[in-house]
Structure 1
Amino acid sequence: MKAKYAIAASLLISIGAYAQKDELKQMKKIVNKEQPTAEDLQKLKQLIDQAEPLMANADDKQKADFYYYKGNYDLVMAIAKMDQNGIKAAIADFNKVLELEKTTKREYTKEITEEIYPEVSKGMLAIAKELGANQNYKAAVPLYEMAYELNKKDTINLYNAAAYAINAKDYDASLKYFEELDRLGFTNKRLSYTATSPEGEVQYFNDKKTRDLYIQTASYTNPGVHKDPSVRGDIIKNIALLYIQKGDKDKAMQAIAKAKKQNPNDIGLLSAESQIYFESGDMENYQRVIKDILNLGSKDPNLYFNLGVTSAQAGQKEEAKQYYQKAIEIDPKYAAAYYNIGVLLLDGEDAIVSEMNGLGTSKKDMARYDLLKEKRDAIYKESLSYVKKAYDMETNPENKEQFKALLASLYTGLDMMDEANALKKK
């Protein structure tokens, strides 16, 4: 039989049943039709229902014929209805065929593993990607999981299922997937095969064969090779953070400690460890680990920036300023670092303003007021130089509004009304 059906792309699967039972012979007559009608499919369902109870006494060859046929029928119907449970049922049928053919003639194994499963996986992944693009992460998760179950060499699909489960806030499922990835030692540090979709988007494939299939059947072009970075640190980090989400800091730290035994200087793992400390409010150990990362030669300005934030929170103003300045040294356009220095410089300004507001009109108080105003203005001017740079550099609209508010306040405090009015118009 040849039946046409689609799952995000046209799939063509030849269905043949070489049965010795009457029901299977009738199935063969129907499925040999080029275009089975709705009535044909209804008759097939009846024949399946009639034959299934007889399979208990059938030999392995007959069982393989039956489940091969049933799998194709279930798949056709599931795809027509876009029924994920139906696809699972079809896969279960095909898996029975594969198991049966381990001890008998392998009539269908090659077709299932090399044609049917790759095509089904291709369709499910296309739908999963579209669901993800529309932020329907919950619906995408089982599709990635099923794609992984079809070919467990494509571990990246399990990784995607884990990541999407986090986005769907299904933390238990995500933790299960990430722990399986950890058990498998998955790093994704390998060569990926690439091709450009008809829409111009570069797609990544786990193996050359699947990539070439897309080029042959889906008008993909520009085949290439890409070396993927390791995601080992991200996996451990997510396991740890998910345990923190569940309120189990001990298991979170156990996950990090286990991984660090093999790779004590892995920056990804150290970054994950630092984030655990940060999430749990342990700023002392957070700073310790960040410094360890920097000592390993990291030039990440974000690490220096984060040390600046935690130092400021601990009241270590000078140390915080030095970290912000180091972040700027590495990245001269790090707007947030400029802004935070500006904010840092304003620390203590409230006490000056409070004293100014509490002074009277005596000659002594007026002299004190002028002295305090001069001191306050000096603070404002130094802060202004940093906040103005931050505002000019920032591209994020939300951050820019925040920087604008402080800049306007500084202009007003310094009686720079022309600048303040001009800023309001921006």
Structure 2
Amino acid sequence: MKSKYVILASAMLISVATFAQKDQIKAAEKALKGGNSQEALTILQGAESLSATAPDAEKAQFFFVKGNALLDLANKNVETGKNLSLAAKAYQDLIATEKVSGKMKYSTQAATSITEIKYKLINSAIADSKADKNSDGAMKLYDAYLLDKKDTINLYYAASTYINAKDYDMAYKLYDELKTLNYSGKGTSYLAVNKLTGEEDFYATAQERDKFVKLGTHEKPRTEVIPSKKGEIYKNMALILVQNGKTEQAKKAISDARIADPADTSLILTEANLYLETKDFDTYKKLIAEVLEKNPNDADLIFNLGVLSANAKNPVEAEKYYAKVIEINPKYINAYINSAALKLENEKVIIDEMNKLGTSTKDMKRYDELKIKRQNLFKSAIPALQKAVELDPKNLDVAKTLLNVYSALEMTAEYKALKAKM
């Protein structure tokens, strides 16, 4: 008889606990409806320990109210990143609970909220990056990826943002995850200019884009091929390994990548860049020759060779590659920009020497020589800068550079004409 009493007493305790949790959840809901999400969370903390023994329906309701309270705090800009992630976790726990019970009361709403949180995390991460808070932004992008692992581009952006934050260990970890997933990022973008904003809008399909063009809200449709990001991923992984003194491991990683995907020429460029970094110029030149043999008229590829050569402090070779790009594709704007930048880089050397000169006859003569040399340097950059401005009038950085050149050469008419267009 005594043992039966104990069992009965235990059952009564569980029942009392269940009622207590119900009351706390109701009180939390009331506080949330009253706009006091922090109070709602405080109330729910008292019910947290009881949720383990609660029925599935009450567990789901508990997680739902908790998720809503955390999301409300995030929407009020209270510890946005932290509360968005905690809200997503609560909704995920809710969905898992209802999946086990088979009763889907809150799951649809929770799934919608998770999608909302994903995009809020992405937008918040973009704002963080603009404010130079790259660590916070990278963490939010990774959390966005964890919410929707099919959207692997967020994992890629998270890794890239960790690079900007100089957190190379985390960047390597995420790049390694991308490598395991065999992520390439290769695809196609469908764009059209929004007549209202003047900006290009992105569409997932050509059909979706063309629909808006036919409606008349958009114009100038174009399709852009997104190249593989494998080369960049392996390059950054290799550079991190080199930085950590693991050069041979880096070389093996690139070599293995090339064996796995021999058609991806970006990986050859990555390997070439690695040998350039380690000052193995013979292997570097051999790999560059291999790239050109495979794709002698690939403008993107040759442009990248120009960038590699410029980074290797070989301006003559870099200029040769940029000229070849322009020959293949006269509208390749970045080739004009880089070609001009290559020429203008020499200005600093001239200015430094000019500043060191004195007032002797010899120094004054040298000063005049350097002044002419500087003017000739500016003149040599004008055609490339003018073409770049012609191709992209909205590129203010290029336009300002050209303005500075006109100003330095006292080309007043040209300066005023360009200024009027800005």
User: TM-score w.r.t. structure 2 length?
Assistant: 0.64
Amino acid at match of 1:273: E
Distance (whole Å) between structure 1 residues aligned to residue 200 and residue 125 of structure 2: 16
- 2:57 matched residue in structure 1: 61
2:276 aligned with 1:278: yes
- The structure 2 residue matched to 1:393, chosen from 383, 393, 410, is 383
Distance (whole Å) between structure 2 residues aligned to residue 207 and residue 58 of structure 1: 47
Cα shift at 1:156: 0.8
- 2:9 matched residue in structure 1: none
Once the two structures are superposed, residues 226-267 of structure 1 have per-residue CA deviations (whole angstroms, 9 ceiling, x without a partner) of: 653321222122211222222211222222122111222321
Cα shift at 1:110: 2.4
Amino acid at match of 1:138: S
- 2:303 matched residue in structure 1: 302
Q: How does 1:69-218 map to 2 (within 5 A)?
A: 69-80=65-76, 81-104=78-101, 105-113=103-111, 115-190=112-187, 201-202=199-200, 204=202
Bigger Cα displacement from structure 2, 173-182 vs 197-206: 197-206
- On the 8 A contact 1:158/1:181 being kept in 2, the answer is yes
Distance (whole Å) between structure 2 residues aligned to residue 248 and residue 260 of structure 1: 19
Distance (whole Å) between structure 2 residues aligned to residue 258 and residue 88 of structure 1: 36
Distance (whole Å) between structure 2 residues aligned to residue 196 and residue 325 of structure 1: 30
- On the 8 A contact 2:24/2:44 being kept in 1, the answer is no
Bigger Rg, structure 1 or 2:
1
Point out which structure has higher relative CO (alpha carbons under 8 A, 6+ apart): 1
Bigger Cα displacement from structure 2, 278-287 vs 191-200: 191-200
Distance (whole Å) between structure 1 residues aligned to residue 19 and residue 157 of structure 2: 44
Distance (whole Å) between structure 1 residues aligned to residue 308 and residue 46 of structure 2: 71
Distance (whole Å) between structure 2 residues aligned to residue 340 and residue 58 of structure 1: 69
Residues 305 and 187 (structure 1 numbering): CA distance in 2 closer, same or farther, change over 3 Å? closer
Cα shift at 1:160: 0.8
Please report the RMSD computed on the Cα atoms of aligned residues, expressed in angstroms.
4.8
- 1:348 matched residue in structure 2: none
The answer for unaligned runs of 5 or more in structure 2 is 1-16, 346-372, 386-397, 412-422
Once the two structures are superposed, residues 302-346 of structure 1 have per-residue CA deviations (whole angstroms, 9 ceiling, x without a partner) of: 366468779997xxx9x99977875675578868779989x9xxx
- On the 8 A contact 2:27/2:40 being kept in 1, the answer is no
- 2:265 matched residue in structure 1: 267
Bigger Cα displacement from structure 2, 271-280 vs 231-240: 231-240
- 1:218 matched residue in structure 2: none
Distance (whole Å) between structure 2 residues aligned to residue 339 and residue 46 of structure 1: 59
Distance (whole Å) between structure 1 residues aligned to residue 258 and residue 203 of structure 2: 30
Once the two structures are superposed, residues 361-416 of structure 1 have per-residue CA deviations (whole angstroms, 9 ceiling, x without a partner) of: xxxxxxxxxxxxxxxxxxxxxx99x9676333354699999x99xxxxxxxxxxxx
Residues 222 and 111 (structure 1 numbering): CA distance in 2 closer, same or farther, change over 3 Å? farther
Q: How does 1:405-424 map to 2 (within 5 A)?
A: none
Distance (whole Å) between structure 2 residues aligned to residue 22 and residue 127 of structure 1: 38
- 1:416 matched residue in structure 2: none
- On the 8 A contact 1:75/1:90 being kept in 2, the answer is yes
Once the two structures are superposed, residues 55-91 of structure 1 have per-residue CA deviations (whole angstroms, 9 ceiling, x without a partner) of: 2322333222222222222232344313422332222
Q: What's the secondary structure of 1:247's corresponding residue?
A: coil
- 2:290 matched residue in structure 1: 292
Q: How does 1:229-248 map to 2 (within 5 A)?
A: 229-248=227-246
Q: What's the secondary structure of 2:51's corresponding residue?
A: helix
- On the 8 A contact 1:141/1:165 being kept in 2, the answer is yes
Count of aligned pairs between the two proteins: 340
Distance (whole Å) between structure 2 residues aligned to residue 399 and residue 26 of structure 1: 65
- On the 8 A contact 1:190/1:227 being kept in 2, the answer is yes
- 1:228 matched residue in structure 2: 226
User: TM-score w.r.t. structure 1 length?
Assistant: 0.64
Distance (whole Å) between structure 1 residues aligned to residue 26 and residue 125 of structure 2: 34
Amino acid at match of 2:260: Q
Cα shift at 1:148: 0.8
Distance (whole Å) between structure 2 residues aligned to residue 390 and residue 136 of structure 1: 40
Higher share of residues assigned helix: 2
